[in-house]
Amino acid sequence: MARLTGRSGLSRLSPVRQQALSVSLATGAYGLSLGALAVAAGLDFWQTMALSLIVFSGGSQFAFVGVIGAAGSPWAALGTSALLGVRNGFYGVTLAPILRPMRGWRFVWGSQVTIDESTAVALAQPENDADARRTGFWWTGVGVFVAWNLLVGVGAIAGQYIGEPQAWGLDAAAAAAFLGLVWPRLAPRRAQAVAAAAAVLALALTPVLPAGLPILAAALVAVGAGWGGPPVDLDPTEAPV
Amino acid sequence: MSSYAWLWVAIVAAGVVSWLTKATGHLVPERWLEHPRVHRIASYMTVALLFALFAVQSFTSGRALAFDARAAAVAVAAVLLWRRAPFIVVVVAAAGVAAALRALGWT
């Protein structure tokens, strides 16, 4: 990184733009994994790209692919990905006062790139610097969109040449990817309890429900845990979950 | 319709739902969603679903519970995450552990 910020490179950009670009590049690694795992789960190249371009929310995409990979129905995959995307709706509420006015194509694109990373970088800028917040949102949103989709494509192409996914341990890679995605959110005690209860419920229901539904059922744990208790903030992380 | 076509339908539907969710946030008045209960549920939703996905992906095979090479792989992944290894290192290491154990005959 130090090398990149040398005299002629990133240092010409303002700090918020540098941050946006480094976050965008960092998500590439997740995209690479997603592309390979999607093909291993049974999506073809164009399905993988369509999922990535139009869903464009890392957690929702990993979930969709995970449910399909576990032999779940397309509807269970759709439901799980939709519930994991709920978070983005709340980001829009927080961002709206910063980004207004947005009309036409600007609104279409602004909505599409309302994700963890763009929200995190925008809100990391000083509260009284609306320009930096807007710049952070747009540069990160568009930067992640480009880097993410490019590397999902590379991962999907690589995945097609891999052959038997299990021999390469790709099923274990998918499991590790989910653990890596949720890891930054597991610091609070209550989050750990929610995670444990969700895992126990999903595993207990696996023998009795069709594939995919035990994962969806874990949403009930979130409803139960969130019904009462102290207020929590919806903190975006810079990881695509 | 074939299962391939239904998968396409679900992908496009997931995209439409995803965009509508994002767009809704920009349009609704803030006070509609500022109830603490709504915030808590949305926050725990991510943790619950991702961890359920992790558990099912790690410890089931079809409709049975399973304890195989993946368990060792995710244990290694957990240690690496705890040591703050980058995401891609964690994923590749887990794949490597599972692949190596299977090559040695442990399913």
Of A191, A238, A215, nearest in space to A76 by CA: A215
Q: What is the pLDDT of residue A211?
A: 86
Which residues of chain A have a CB within 8 Å of the CB of B15? 50-51, 53-56
In a domain, B93, yes or no: yes
B37 touches chain A (CB under 8 A): yes
A199 in Cβ contact with A172 (< 8 Å): no
> How many interface pairs between A and B have CB atoms less than 8 angstroms apart?
329
A83 touches chain B (CB under 8 A): yes
Mapping DSSP to helix (H, G, I), strand (E, B) and coil, where does residue B61 land? strand
% of chain B at pLDDT higher than 70:
99
Which residues of chain A have a CB within 8 Å of the CB of B84? none
Q: What is the mean pLDDT of each run of 10 residues along chain A (241 residues)?
A: 51 86 86 93 96 95 94 94 92 90 94 94 90 96 96 95 84 91 91 97 95 91 90 70 56
Which residues of chain A have a CB within 8 Å of the CB of B81? 179-180, 183
Q: CA–CA separation, A113 vs A58, rounded Å?
A: 11
**Residue ranges making up the domain that contains B81:** 67-107
Q: What is the pLDDT of residue A234?
A: 72
pTM over 0.90? The answer is no
For the question of an ipTM over 0.90, the answer is yes
Of the candidate ranges B13-17, B83-87, B96-100, the one whose mean pLDDT is the lowest: B83-87
B99 touches chain A (CB under 8 A): yes
In a domain, B87, yes or no: yes
Domain count across chain B: 1
A226 touches chain B (CB under 8 A): yes
Q: Which helix (H) or strand (E) holds B64?
A: strand B64-65
The DSSP line for A98-142 is HH----HHHHHHHHHT-SHHHHHHHHHS-TT-HHHHHHHHHHHHH
In a domain, B53, yes or no: no
CA-nearest residue of chain B to A202?
Answer: B52
Which residues of chain A have a CB within 8 Å of the CB of B75? none
A171 in Cβ contact with A71 (< 8 Å): no
Query: How many Cα atoms are found within 13 Å in the side-chain-facing hemisphere of A94?
Result: 23
Q: CA–CA separation, A48 vs A44, rounded Å?
A: 6
In a domain, B21, yes or no: no
